[in-house]
Amino acid sequence: MLRFTLRRTLQIIPTVVVVAMLIFVIFSVVPGTFAASLFADGKRAADPQMIARLNEEFGLNKPLMERFATYVTDLAQFDLGTSFRTRQPVIDLINDRIWASLQLAIAAMAFALVVGVPLGFLAALRPGSVLDTVTMIGAVSGLSMPQFWLGLLMMYIFALQLNWLPSFGYGDGSFRNLILPAVTLGVTPLALLARTTRAGVLDVLNADFIRTAHSKGMSEAKVVRWHVARNALVLIVTTLGLQFGSLIGQAVVIEKLFAWPGIGSLLVDSVASRDIPVVQGTILIIVLWFLVINTAVDLIYAAIDPRIKQE
């Protein structure tokens, strides 16, 4: 297990290197520069001298290979560069935002997990029941509802009408501020989790070894606890991992809607103003997050299923 953990963790490194290179290449070929975007209000033409001066300052007129070399050497020292816009180190900008994002993503996932998995489980144990039907209708609605609309609805009901929760903002970082955006963000993974849990449990219930378990004279509850739960977990963990990884990216809309100071809104703002170092840094962090989650999922798999470690 230790060797497996080590190997899976070390595999992150080459992936990060490749991704970092790709990010650099992509953003060196996108049209538009930071300097041009500063004057892009369309009313007056950009002053060519001004643009040249800015490009000089940010080193954008150096040859591509040289810029790449600088980028890689800085990266190796965990230096993500300096923002064009605010002249602050990118790492500081991200550090200001990432924790709010993680908080949001974890809260949303916890909500999805705590509600979605038990619902899917119960639905599978009583297929065709009222609970099953209601859960599956709810899951389909949850999947098809646009998040921004759901967010507005929640704001309207819980903040404006009932006045229970603040409508937007991070506030002092209190739990009350977190509830609305986290629930809104959590609805999609919740619906997916409920559905995959149901499908997974139904699948396991039909397996031969469940018949064996029944033939031993076990009660239904023990069959579920001893034999169904662990086997269904594999599918649940897969869904969980995939959803968790992409949640930070998905959070952009929610962060904008609820004025949540997360990494998603930082990314969108930086793209709009061609603040390339910030964009590169933010994407790298999101990729890293994805890889960490993926590795965690693999490790959990190995802990659940003894067949995986052997490969």
Partner 1 sequence: MTVPLLDIRELCLGLAVGRSVVRPLLKDVSFQIMPGEAYGLVGESGSGKSVTSLAVMGLLKKPLAVSGGEILFKGENLLALPKRAMRRLRGNRIAMIFQEPMTALNPLSTIGRQIAEMFVLHQGKNWDEAQELAVEALMSVRVPNPDRRARNYPHQMSGGLRQRVMIAMALACNPDLLIADEPTTALDVTVQAEVLRLIKELCAERGTAVLFISHDLGVIASICQRVGVMYAGCLVEENETRALFTDPRHEYTRGLLGALPRFGSRSQHGRQRLVDIDSIIADRSKLVETRFIAPRCAEEGSRS
Q: Which residues bind partner 1 (CB under 8 A)?
A: 207-209, 211-219, 222, 226-227, 230-231, 304-307, 310
Closest distance between partner 1 and the C-beta of residue 261, in Å? Answer: 43
Using the minimum distance from each CB to partner 1, give the nearer residue, 163 or 219. 219
Closest distance between partner 1 and the C-beta of residue 215, in Å? Answer: 5
Name every residue whose Cβ is closer than 8 Å to that of residue 51 and which is 6 or more positions away in sequence.
33, 35, 36, 39
Using the minimum distance from each CB to partner 1, give the nearer residue, 10 or 207. 207
Q: How far is CA 31 from CA 35, 36, 154, 276, 278, in A?
A: 12, 10, 39, 12, 17
Give me the helix-helix angle, 276-304 and 229-257, nearest 10°: 160
Using the minimum distance from each CB to partner 1, give the nearer residue, 197 or 282. 197
Closest distance between partner 1 and the C-beta of residue 180, in Å? Answer: 39
Provide the CB-side half-sphere exposure for 155 (13 A, CA): 14
Closest distance between partner 1 and the C-beta of residue 210, in Å? Answer: 8
Is 55 buried (19+), middle (13-18) or exposed (0-12) by CB count in 10 A? middle
Q: Under a CB-based contact definition with an 8 Å cutoff, are residues 135 and 123 in contact?
A: yes
Closest distance between partner 1 and the C-beta of residue 228, in Å? Answer: 10
Q: Which long-range contacts (CB under 8 A, 24 or more apart) does 175-178 make?
A: 178/103, 178/104, 178/107
Closest distance between partner 1 and the C-beta of residue 298, in Å? Answer: 16
Using the minimum distance from each CB to partner 1, give the nearer residue, 14 or 306. 306
Using the minimum distance from each CB to partner 1, give the nearer residue, 53 or 216. 216
Using the minimum distance from each CB to partner 1, give the nearer residue, 213 or 254. 213
For residue 109 the two structure tokens come to: 């996932």
